[in-house]
């Protein structure tokens, strides 16, 4: 490839960044114009909705790289929703549309979706973690997302109300309209919550929530917390639920890519899935020292993560991805991959060509089971699960039985 070709391709990312910056500047100018027009025509609704759009665009354009950045997909969604709302009001004023009620309900549903995404980001900003990393309670996350989404919307409507009260000539806030719009915002946020439940299976928030947290992991303190957690795990040493691996695919003796290294990683993951779950730290030596995963054998961290995902998909199976989460943690110039595995209710096998191999954890070791030993293990594990279910049902039933009392209100003998 010639130098000319190289410069062309080298400048492409810069041109893309310049284009994105000019696009955001254009959006900001359009939003300011709409805000001024709304002020002139007494439209408090459009005036108030410009506030979050202007804040997000200004943060994206004027803050430094080390500051928090909003994903482009979320910015575009917010701006498009706002512009659609403004277009509806313009069509109504020009008699292009006789009744804008249904149109505005749809717009407010989209507003709810946007606020739901923003609230989901806020929840994980406070948690300082990535989705699925700390085994957060989905019901609690959903509750806080709904609460934050409605709170943001009501706060903006309060601003609208007081502007109308203290600024003569501004549009008054109608209670019936407010209730209808709030209902649609709640429904939009609820859809985000439903999608959140499916995110671990389909990666639905890749370009919004996940992108935001990955880009801003240092600024939000996520990397610091992850580093602390990894160091605490290392202090405890290898165990039934913790294993160290120095490398993902590079043989440290030869310096070459070695499929045996990949197999060692994957069979440990399979063993955790077939046992009681656990953590695999790739880039940590047997003595607990951080040597760093073999990042130099990949173009970048994204390619390393993609390679591990592809290995899991091809050698274990896509169906088990919901039970496996991993993230790459920086330790200065070294990277540690932390793989978390939840216990899987179904037997999991490592696929070695046409052969399927079953692994389990036995103390700090990974062992292969075959024949009657394998059948016995699976049967005993199934019996253990059934026993736990029976105990839970008995415990729930026992707690539901009221304390028998006699007619005088005493609980037993006099």
Q: Assess contact for 222 and 130: CB atoms under 8 A.
A: yes
Rounded CA-CA distance 316/314 in Å is 6
Domain boundary among 215, 231, 262: 215
Handedness of CA 389, 391, 392, 394 (dihedral sign): positive
3 state SS of 334: strand
Residues 85 and 147 in one domain: yes
Residue 124 inside a domain? The answer is yes
CATH number at residue 293: 3.30.950.30
End of a domain among 156, 180, 215? 215
**Whether residue 390 is found in the same domain as residue 312:** yes
Q: Which residues of the chain have pLDDT under 50?
A: 1-13, 65-66, 402-414
Do 22 and 159 have their domain in common? Answer: yes
* pLDDT tens digit sequence for 46-66: 667 777 778 877 877 776 544
User: 175 and 135 in one domain?
Assistant: yes
Predicted confidence at residue 348, as pLDDT, reads: 94
Distances in whole angstroms, Cα of residue 367 to Cα of each of 243, 355, 413: 13, 16, 57
Q: Is residue 16 part of a domain?
A: yes
Which of 166, 184, 215 delimits the end of a domain? 215
* Residue 80: predicted pLDDT: 83
Domain membership of residue 402 (yes or no) is no
CA distances, 197 to each of 131, 138, 353 (Å): 11, 7, 34
Q: Can you give the pLDDT at residue 17?
A: 64
Number of domains in the chain: 2
Domain containing residue 390 = 223-395
β 355-362/365-369 pair status: antiparallel
pLDDT of residue 292: 93
Task: Say yes or no: 146 and 43 in one domain.
Answer: yes
Both 98 and 164 in one domain: the answer is yes
Q: What is the largest CA-CA distance in the chain?
A: 100
Q: Tell me, yes or no, whether 192 and 230 share the same domain.
A: no
Do 71 and 142 belong to one domain? yes
* Confidence at residue 200, expressed as pLDDT on a 0 to 100 scale: 63
In the block, tokens 């202090």 appear at 235
- The reply to whether 63 falls in a domain is yes
Given a contact cutoff of 8 angstroms between Cβ atoms, the answer to whether 274 and 360 are in contact is: yes
Whole-angstrom Cα distance, residue 192 to residue 141?
A: 11
Please, where are the H alpha helices in 203-300? 209-215, 222-236, 259-274
- The reply to whether 412 falls in a domain is no
Whether residues 208 and 242 fall in one domain: no
Q: Is residue 405 part of a domain?
A: no
Phi, then psi, of 75 in degrees rounded to 5: -60, -45
The answer to whether the CB of 191 falls within 8 A of the CB of 106 is no
Q: From the CA atom positions of the chain, what is the Rg in Å?
A: 28
Please give the pLDDT value at position 29. Answer: 87
Cβ(338)–Cβ(226) under 8 Å?
yes
**Residue 342, SS3 per DSSP:** coil
pLDDT in tens, 284-323: 999 999 999 999 999 888 899 999 999 999 999 988 988 8
- 257-271 per-residue burial string, b: 16 or more CB within 10 A, e: under 16: ebeebbbbbbbbbbb
Based on the domain organization, do 231 and 318 belong to the same domain? yes
pLDDT at position 12 is: 46
Query: Do residues 297 and 249 make contact, with C-beta atoms less than 8 angstroms apart?
Result: yes
Q: How far is CA 238 from CA 120, 235, 243, 293, in A?
A: 35, 9, 5, 17
Return the bridge partners of 279, or none: 242, 340
Distance CA 201, CA 220 (A): 25
Q: Which residues are CB-contacts of 224 (< 8 A; sequence separation ≥ 6)?
A: none
Euclidean distance between CA atoms 7 and 188, whole angstroms: 46
Query: Are both 30 and 128 inside the same structural domain?
Result: yes
pTM of the model: 0.66
CA atoms within 13 A of residue 20's CA, in its CB half-sphere:
15
Give a yes or no: residue 137 inside a domain.
Answer: yes
- List the beta strands (DSSP E) in 224-372: 242-245, 278-282, 324-331, 334-341, 349-352, 355-362, 365-369
- CA dist., res. 80 & res. 72, Å (int): 12
Q: Which H helix or E strand runs over 117? A: helix 101-127
Concatenated DSSP letters of 188-207? HHHHHHHHHHHHHHH-TTTT
Phi, psi dihedral angles at 100 (to 5 degrees): -100, 5
In a domain, 158, yes or no: yes
Same domain assignment for residues 77 and 194:
yes
């Amino acid at each position: 490839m010639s130098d000319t070709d190289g410069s062309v391709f080298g400048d492409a990312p810069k041109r893309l960044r310049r284009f994105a910056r000019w696009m955001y500047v254009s959006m900001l100018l359009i939003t300011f114009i709409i805000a001024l027009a709304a002020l002139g025509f007494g439209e408090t609704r459009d005036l108030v909705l410009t506030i979050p759009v202007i804040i997000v665009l200004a943060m994206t354009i004027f803050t430094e790289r080390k500051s928090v950045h909003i994903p482009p997909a979320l910015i575009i969604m917010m701006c498009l929703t706002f512009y659609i709302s403004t277009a509806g009001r313009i069509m109504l004023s020009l008699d292009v549309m006789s009744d804008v009620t249904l149109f505005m309900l749809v717009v407010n549903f989209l507003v709810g979706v946007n606020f739901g995404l923003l609230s989901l980001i806020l929840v994980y900003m406070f948690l300082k973690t990535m989705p699925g990393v700390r085994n957060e309670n989905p019901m609690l996350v959903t509750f806080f997302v709904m609460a934050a989404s409605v709170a943001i919307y009501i706060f903006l409507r309060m601003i609208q109300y007081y502007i109308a009260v203290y600024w003569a000539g501004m549009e008054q806030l109608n209670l019936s309209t407010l209730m209808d719009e709030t209902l649609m915002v709640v429904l939009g946020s609820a859809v985000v919550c439903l999608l959140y439940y499916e995110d671990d299976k389909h990666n639905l928030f890749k370009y919004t929530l996940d992108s935001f947290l990955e880009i801003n992991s240092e600024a939000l303190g996520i990397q610091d917390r992850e580093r602390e957690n990894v160091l605490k795990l290392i202090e405890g040493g290898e165990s039934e639920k913790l294993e160290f691996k120095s490398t993902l695919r590079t043989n440290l003796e030869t310096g070459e890519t070695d499929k045996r290294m990949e197999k060692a990683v994957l069979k440990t993951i399979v063993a955790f899935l077939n046992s009681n779950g656990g953590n695999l730290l790739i880039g940590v030596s047997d003595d607990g020292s951080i040597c760093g995963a073999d990042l130099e054998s990949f173009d970048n961290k994204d390619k390393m993560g993609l390679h591990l995902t592809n290995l899991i998909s091809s050698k274990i199976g896509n169906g088990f991805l919901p039970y496996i989460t991993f993230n790459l943690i920086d330790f200065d110039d070294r990277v540690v991959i932390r793989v978390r595995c939840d216990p899987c209710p179904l037997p999991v096998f490592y696929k070695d060509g046409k052969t399927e191999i079953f692994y389990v954890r036995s103390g700090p070791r990974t062992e292969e089971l075959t024949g009657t030993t394998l059948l016995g293990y699976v049967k005993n594990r199934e019996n253990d699960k059934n026993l736990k279910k029976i105990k839970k049902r008995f415990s729930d039933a026992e707690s539901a039985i009221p304390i028998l009392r006699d007619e005088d209100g005493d609980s037993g003998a006099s």
